Amino acid sequence: MSNILHVCIESILDAPATLSKPYKRWHLAFATIYCSRALHSLLNKKNKKTSKLPLSTPSFVVLNVERHLAFSNIEHKSLTEVVKKKNLDQLHEFGGVAGVADALKTDDKNGIHGDVEDIARRQEVFGSNTYPRPPAKSFFYFVLEAFKDLTILILLACATLSLGFGIKEHGLKEGWYDGGSIFVAVFLVISVSAVSNFRQNRQFEKLSKVSNNIKVEVVRDGHRQQISIFEIVVGDVVCLKIGDQVAADGLFLDGHSLQVDESSMTGESDHVEVNCHQNPFLFSGTKVADGYGQMLVTSVGMDTTWGEMMSTISRDLNEETPLQARLNKLTSSIGKVGLAVAFLVLVVLVVRYFTGNTEDENGNQEFNGGKTKANDIVNAMVRIIAAAVTIVVVAIPEGLPLAVTLTLAYSMKRMMADQAMVRKLSACETMGSATTICTDKTGTLTLNQMKVTKYWLGKEPVEDSSSIDTHVLKLIQQGVALNTTGSIYRATSGSEFEFSGSPTEKAILSWAVLELGMDMEAIKQNYSILHVEAFNSEKKRSGVLMRKKADNKIHVHWKGAAEMILAMCSSYYDASGSIKCLDDGERITFEQIIEGMAASSLRCIAFAHKQIPEEKQEISESRQKLKEDSLTLIGLVGIKDPCRPGVRKAVEDCQYAGVNVRMITGDNVFTARAIATECGILRPDQDMNGEAVVEGEVFRNYTPEERMEKVDKIRVMARSSPFDKLLMVQCLKQKGHVVAVTGDGTNDAPALKEADIGLSMGIQGTEVAKESSDIIILDDNFASVATVLKWGRCVYNNIQKFIQFQLTVNVAALVINFVAAVSAGEVPLTAVQLLWVNLIMDTLGALALATEKPTKELMEKPPVGRTEPLISNIMWRNLLAQALYQIAILLTLQFKGESIFGVSEEVNDTLIFNTFVLCQVFNEFNARKLEKKNVFKGLHKNKLFLGIIGITIILQVVMVEFLKKFANTERLNWGQWGVCIGIAAASWPIGWVVKSIPVSEKPFLSYLKW
């Protein structure tokens, strides 16, 4: 018995030395419980033999520690701290990276099993890769924000005054109408504004979730696959390449030349080198600046530094766009004009009253010196102040900011459906003013579906791979298998190959495996890699230094842009496998081959090789420097990347709209010219003088004056570096252009930030590029860029339509009430009626006009300049014509209506109110087109517009016919309704005639800065 117990304790207490104190305690507790159970079980058996008496209840507690035992060899909290504090000594205590991988049950080559149970268990033990967000802003937050608006505060002050004076003059039963209606109006404006902003905020939250849902490449069960960043678990092996965001905290497993930008965490701009020995630590939220590698995830979500930081940050989504700022300024300017006019009316009416120029209902003089009672004077003052308040109410266009919010929210939603995700609202507007688009080639103008279609060995094209010399074939296979960031996966020997990596890498791997019979795993096992120079867009090449295990000989392989590799070579292999000298004549021949392939729109890649002589092997190993000269050219491959269908049409649409399209690519001049001609960016006869197509290096070497002189003529920039792209954007901006730039690489970030509108690619784009951009093109298609341009113009156009419509209402109402108040001493339109007009026109008008979809006409006009006034001469022409017509008609009705129609004053006032509202309804149709005479085109497609017109007419009928006391109206007969409709309908022919009047280019209000 004692022997059994002794063995039991010995075996269970044999705890690993790497365990920390808390886990040793757990181990001891488990051992004690286990031994107690064993002891009890033995006693139980003995008692069964000797006695049949029932046993008492056991005096121990059974603990289920199985879940922790799944990863019992390591304490997660300690591991998290090791990585956060970059503690190498403690990492060695864990057994290094290999020890951690073993404890986390991860195979450093094949990753975790990745089945449902494995993932669930890891998430249960270590947590998921998510972090709690700050609570979203509630609806009441937006209600309070709306109350802070100066316009609303003025209206509330007016409502309070009107309510007090109304009750004072007419008693509580009827005196609350005017003040109460202003309160109702304020309530409606606040409600619509708060609902609109609340919904927009929710939309931003959704977009934020979409943009945060980054795709990450992991290895699970030996298979490379893309998963959401939120699905990453501790133990995952994550693949990293240039431009990737590190998805969690972890340790470096394998890779070459890996450099990380930790500025988001530390503020230090210098890149940090990550390797196995000195610094294997990687942090969530940092960006890969160079090289490639694999990392082992050690902590996720809130256990990472980035998670702790992000959970406290709330992205402020309520940025004020430039157009909103201009409109707020415009609203306050109109409000000031309204206040000035109201003050003038107040002074005039007070003077008229005290000079005895006003009469009461019986025709008697109202003010008669000392004989007038104090109460009558107070009542008269109340009436005068109410008239002034009414003018202030009508002057303030509350709907303008609301219209912008509605338009932007609507267009953002529709743009998402059109494959464009807006990250910054201001980009919606700015895109409408874009005068030039600088676009990438690969994936944007082309399909990014690459395939090797040509292979040249020496000066001969190879049609059949069986004709390639065996030695050369082996060198090509080595160059492809060992100098790549891609990978090959095959589930079973009979199944199809799966290739992963960049499109170029996938094309080359596919060609080498399927046509040349390459066995990547076998080659990798025969060689050990000593040093790698990773590909980047400046060097346009990648190289690898390796040792053959069989004979310890060192080789160097290079792959990259054909002319770059050719310049590094001094010999070449011919079709028979012999090495030939590459003299000047031969070099020219190869250059012609490259040009010929490029002219056929092929991307030309070259392979070169060199065996390092034995005497130089030690130097190469110690310096880890790749040989860059005297190489032997193995061969050239031509990769075809077909143009996207519909790109030519999209380019032509942009050019027709006055927007120049420029292509900036890393390909050579001949490939660039061929693709640009195919896409319609270049005309076949355009580059005769050599100014339309330029190389990045040539552009870079121009003097600043030469650059400024030639930049407008450039249509294609080939062999460009990211710096050249940035330089071109800066030059174009200096020339006064509004520049949109597309980009997908990490190095495009400066150009994307510098541009007026940065457009990143959703599929091929790196996280760095996406973060630097304003809009993400989700399908990487240039046609979507043209759609964004159309939407940008639509936003601007819709807001201009609404401003024209709104200002017509304001100008007409202001002038009518001012003239009537000054001449007759009373206002024809009451506060209730004016607020009704304002509300109907503001909220419903904004909805109707803000949701117009883009039309072809938008792309027929040149871009709107950055400095052009918001209210154009065309708008002034349209709104002044309609406002003058309404003023003339309504003042005629005011002074002569009773005698013309033979009606009472009350009916005449209702006629004025009804005609005024119907004029706005008909004018809403005119506002649909600022320049075109046919305002009904496309009307059947906008069901919302027709619905709103219908609702407005129904509400107006209710107002006139049924709300007599509240609206201060009288019922009208059919003939009177017909007259009102006839007068209002005349605004259509007037609008048609007015649009024939030409207007000057110089802004009508050039002396005013809106």
Nearest to 477 by CA among 527, 513, 528, 501: 513
Phi, psi of 758 (to 5 degrees): -100, 125
Task: Compute how many other C-beta atoms are within 10 angstroms of the C-beta atom of residue 213.
Answer: 11
Nearest to 919 by CA among 843, 840, 831, 830: 840
- Name the catalytic one among 236, 290, 303, 440: 440
Phi, psi of 507 (to 5 degrees): -65, -45
Tokens for 403?
């219209």
Task: Compute how many other C-beta atoms are within 10 angstroms of the C-beta atom of residue 803.
Answer: 24
Name, in order, each residue with C-beta under 8 angstroms of 31's C-beta and a sequence gap of 6 or more: 9, 12, 13
CA 883, CA 472: separation in Å to the nearest integer? 84
Which helix (H) or strand (E) covers residue 886, if one does? helix 873-901
CA 552 to chain centre: 52
Task: Compute how many other C-beta atoms are within 10 angstroms of the C-beta atom of residue 966.
Answer: 16
Spell out where 507-553 has E strands: 527-533, 541-548
CA 630, CA 610: separation in Å to the nearest integer? 8
Asked whether the beta carbons of 887 and 820 are under 8 A apart, the reply is: no
Using alpha carbons only, give the angle 634, 639, 643 rounded to the nearest 5 degrees: 165
CA 262, CA 249: separation in Å to the nearest integer? 12
Name, in order, each residue with C-beta under 8 angstroms of 172's C-beta and a sequence gap of 6 or more: none
Place of tokens 């206040």: 339
Which helix (H) or strand (E) covers residue 346, if one does? helix 322-354
Phi, psi of 111 (to 5 degrees): 75, -160
Q: Is 574 a catalytic residue?
A: no
Strand partners, 451: 640
What is the Cβ-side half-sphere exposure of residue 295, based on CA atoms within 13 angstroms? 34
CA 318, CA 593: separation in Å to the nearest integer? 56
DSSP secondary structure letter of residue 743: E
Asked whether the beta carbons of 9 and 35 are under 8 A apart, the reply is: yes
CA 95 to chain centre: 44
The set of catalytic residues is 440
